[in-house]
Amino acid sequence: MDWESLISCGSFARKLIIKGIDTHEDARLAVEHGFDGILVSNHGGRATETLRSTLEALPEVVAEAGGRIPVFVDGGSAAGPIYSKLSLLARKRLA
């Protein structure tokens, strides 16, 4: 799916969260085009599982969103300590 197709989804009356964002460039586009949230994920249809983890992508996406829209995480955390690290990264970036 390209950004032109995604932008046309913005006409829905409900909140729209975009999944699969893992770069600051795409986070910027999501904010600019009025999406209501970002779901950082690297496993949409198993197409990107060989790329960097959500833990690695999260800081730049959260920084680019800049508190303008919420950022959520899907995957990239198989163990409890990783959840703690994700939470700390998110809080550090939002502070």
Q: Which of these is catalytic: 16, 43, 48, 89?
A: 43
**What is the CA angle 73-68-50, rounded to 5?**
30
d(CA 64, CA 27): 6
Answer yes or no: 43 catalytic: yes
Question: Could you tell me which of 78, 52, 45, 80 has the C-alpha nearest to residue 60?
Answer: 52
Please provide the distance, in angstroms rounded to a whole number, between the alpha carbons at the two ends of the chain. Answer: 33
> Which of the residues are catalytic?
43
